[in-house]
Amino acid sequence: MSGDQVHNDSQIEADFRANDSHKHKKDKEHRHKEHKKDKDREKTKHNHSEHRDPSEKKHKDKHKDGEKHREKDGEKHIEKHREKDGDKHRDEKHREKDGEKHGDKHVEKHREKDGEKHREEKHREKDGEKHKDKHKEKDREKRREEKMKSSSGSLKIKRENGFASPPCIKDEPADEAYTISTTENEKPIKRSRDDDDLDYKPKKVKTEDVKKAKKRKQEEDVKPKSKNKSKVTGSQGDGKKRKIKKEEEEKWKWWEEERHSDGVKWKFLEHKGPLFAPPYEPLPDNVKFYYDGKQVKLSPNAEEVATFFAKMLDHEYTTKDIFRKNFFKDWKKEMTADERNLITNLSKCDFNELSQYFKAQSEARKQMTKEEKLKIKAENERILQEYGFCMMDNHKERIANFRIEPPGLFRGRGDHPKMGKLKRRIMPEHIIINCSKDSKVPPAPSGHKWKEVRHDNKVTWLVSWTENIQGSIKYIMLNPSSRIKGEKDWQKYETARRLKKCVDKIRNTYREDWKSKEMKARQRSVALYFIDKLALRAGNEKEEGETADTVGCCSLRVEHINLHPEMDGQEYVVEFDFPGKDSIRYYNKVPVEKRVFKNLQLFMENKQPDDDLFDRLNTSILNKHLQDLMEGLTAKVFRTYNASITLQQQLNELTNGDDNVPAKILSYNRANRAVAILCNHQRAPPKTFEKSMMNLQTKIDAKKDQLADARRELKSAKADAKVRRDEKTKKALESKKKAVQRIEEQLMKLEVQATDKEENKQIALGTSKLNYLDPRISVAWCKKFDVPIEKIYNKTQREKFAWAIDMAEEDFQF
Q: Which residues are catalytic?
A: 772
Residue pair 147/170 in contact (Cβ under 8 Å)? The answer is no
Number of C-alpha atoms within 13 angstroms, CB side, residue 224?
21
Residue 418 beta carbon to DNA: minimum distance, rounded to whole angstroms = 8
Amino acid at 798: R
Residue 82 or 423 with smaller CB distance to DNA? 423
Kindly report each contact of residues 124-132 with a partner whose C-beta sits within 8 Å and lies 24 or more positions away, as own/partner.
126/65, 127/690, 129/690, 129/694, 131/693, 131/694, 131/697
What Rg do the C-alpha atoms of the chain give, in angstroms?
30
Residue 286 or 472 with smaller CB distance to DNA? 472
Residue 294 beta carbon to DNA: minimum distance, rounded to whole angstroms = 30
Residue pair 343/349 in contact (Cβ under 8 Å)? The answer is yes
Residue pair 84/120 in contact (Cβ under 8 Å)? The answer is no
Residue 88 or 265 with smaller CB distance to DNA? 265
Residue 475 beta carbon to DNA: minimum distance, rounded to whole angstroms = 6
Residue 83 beta carbon to DNA: minimum distance, rounded to whole angstroms = 31
Residue 262 beta carbon to DNA: minimum distance, rounded to whole angstroms = 11
Cβ-based neighbours of 579, under 8 Å, separated by 6 or more? 47, 48, 51, 414, 548, 549, 550, 551, 585, 586
Residue 341 or 794 with smaller CB distance to DNA? 794
Residue 100 beta carbon to DNA: minimum distance, rounded to whole angstroms = 28
Among 581, 524, 577, 575, smallest CA distance to 547 is for: 581
- List 524's β-bridge partners, or say none: none
Q: Strand, coil or helix: what is 724?
A: coil
Number of C-alpha atoms within 13 angstroms, CB side, residue 284?
7
User: How many angstroms separate the Cα of 614 from the Cα of each of 34, 44, 294, 522?
Assistant: 18, 20, 57, 9
Residue 213 or 548 with smaller CB distance to DNA? 548
Among 483, 398, 486, 502, smallest CA distance to 776 is for: 486
Residue 47 beta carbon to DNA: minimum distance, rounded to whole angstroms = 13
Sign for the pseudo-dihedral over CA of 320, 326, 329, 331: negative
Residue 432 or 721 with smaller CB distance to DNA? 432
User: How many angstroms separate the Cα of 335 from the Cα of each of 309, 332, 341, 412?
Assistant: 14, 5, 9, 24
**Number of helical (H) and strand (E) elements in the chain, helices listed first:** 32, 15
Amino acid at 481: S
Residue 394 or 482 with smaller CB distance to DNA? 482
Residue pair 209/196 in contact (Cβ under 8 Å)? The answer is yes
Crossing angle for the helix pair 41-49 and 57-85, to the nearest 10 degrees: 60
Number of C-alpha atoms within 13 angstroms, CB side, residue 201?
13
CA dist 225 and 229 (Å) reads: 7
Residue 601 or 796 with smaller CB distance to DNA? 796
CA dist 712 and 172 (Å) reads: 60
- Secondary structure E strands in 569-662: 570-579, 585-591
Sign for the pseudo-dihedral over CA of 741, 745, 750, 755: positive
CA dist 51 and 616 (Å) reads: 28
Residue 539 beta carbon to DNA: minimum distance, rounded to whole angstroms = 5
Among 68, 145, 93, smallest CA distance to 114 is for: 145
Residue 54 or 74 with smaller CB distance to DNA? 54
Residue 74 beta carbon to DNA: minimum distance, rounded to whole angstroms = 26
User: How many angstroms separate the Cα of 439 from the Cα of each of 81, 242, 270, 453, 454?
Assistant: 68, 20, 5, 12, 11
Residue 689 beta carbon to DNA: minimum distance, rounded to whole angstroms = 7
Residue pair 752/93 in contact (Cβ under 8 Å)? The answer is no
Residue 88 beta carbon to DNA: minimum distance, rounded to whole angstroms = 22
Report the first-to-last Cα separation within the chain, whole angstroms: 36
CA dist 595 and 399 (Å) reads: 50
Among 526, 544, 546, 522, smallest CA distance to 536 is for: 526
Residue pair 91/152 in contact (Cβ under 8 Å)? The answer is no
Kindly report each contact of residues 2-11 with a partner whose C-beta sits within 8 Å and lies 24 or more positions away, as own/partner.
5/515, 5/595, 8/515, 8/517, 9/598, 9/602, 11/517
The alpha-helical segments, DSSP class H, found in 195-336 are: 210-216, 218-222, 229-232, 239-251, 300-311, 321-334
Cβ-based neighbours of 247, under 8 Å, separated by 6 or more? none
What does the DSSP 8-state code read for residue 98? Answer: I
